[in-house]
């Protein structure tokens, strides 16, 4: 009789195991879906970070270019301090018989050409008050006007 009772116990345990396995069939699919969702959110965050990084690098590049262009122009102004560098627009012609003022006009033209080539939608001015000269450059970064100003004494 004991062997008969033992035989009954074994099938019950086996039935329980089968029931547990059948109940947990979809659990691995749910785990995979949760993992894929978390991974997707992480990858989306990385993509947004990459876009922001590219945008900020472009802004930094434009600011660096503006600074380099302005510094080159300022050094030309320091090399020829007696000429008049006050401008609100690009001069129309270069020098034919280069005196000091014509050299200044050449420097202004080079400054404007460099801005046209490197900075999007720019406007620039040079103003003077006595020996103090103000160089102002304005360009667009993502539809926002950016102004950078240098003040020097000649």
For the stretch 119-140, pLDDT in tens is 888 888 899 888 899 999 999 8
Q: Looking at the whole model, is its pTM more than 0.85?
A: no
Q: What is the pLDDT of residue 27?
A: 67
**139 vs 87: which has the higher pLDDT:** 139
CA trace torsion 78, 154, 100, 69 (10° rounding): 40
The Cβ of residue 108 has, within 10 Å, a number of other Cβ atoms equal to 23
Find, among 70, 138, 133, 139, the residue nearest to 107 by Cα. Answer: 70
Residue with tokens 């086996």: 14
H helix or E strand, kind and range, residue 117:
helix 100-118
Q: What is the pLDDT of residue 35?
A: 94
User: Residue 84 pLDDT more than 70?
Assistant: yes
């Amino acid at each position: 009789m004991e062997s008969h009772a033992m035989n009954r116990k074994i099938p019950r345990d086996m039935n329980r195991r089968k029931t547990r396995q059948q109940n947990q069939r979809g659990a691995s699919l749910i785990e995979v879906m949760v993992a894929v969702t978390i991974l997707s959110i992480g990858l989306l965050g990385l993509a947004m970070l990459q876009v922001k990084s590219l945008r900020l690098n472009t802004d930094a590049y434009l600011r660096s270019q503006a600074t380099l262009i302005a510094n080159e122009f300022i050094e030309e102004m320091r090399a020829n301090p007696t000429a008049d560098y006050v401008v609100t627009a690009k001069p129309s012609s270069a020098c034919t018989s280069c005196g000091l003022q014509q050299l200044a006009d050449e420097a202004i033209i080079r400054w404007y050409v460099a801005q046209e080539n490197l900075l999007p939608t720019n406007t620039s001015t040079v103003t003077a008050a006595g020996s103090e000269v103000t160089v102002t450059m304005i360009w667009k970064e993502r539809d926002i006007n950016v102004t950078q100003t240098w003040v020097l004494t000649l």
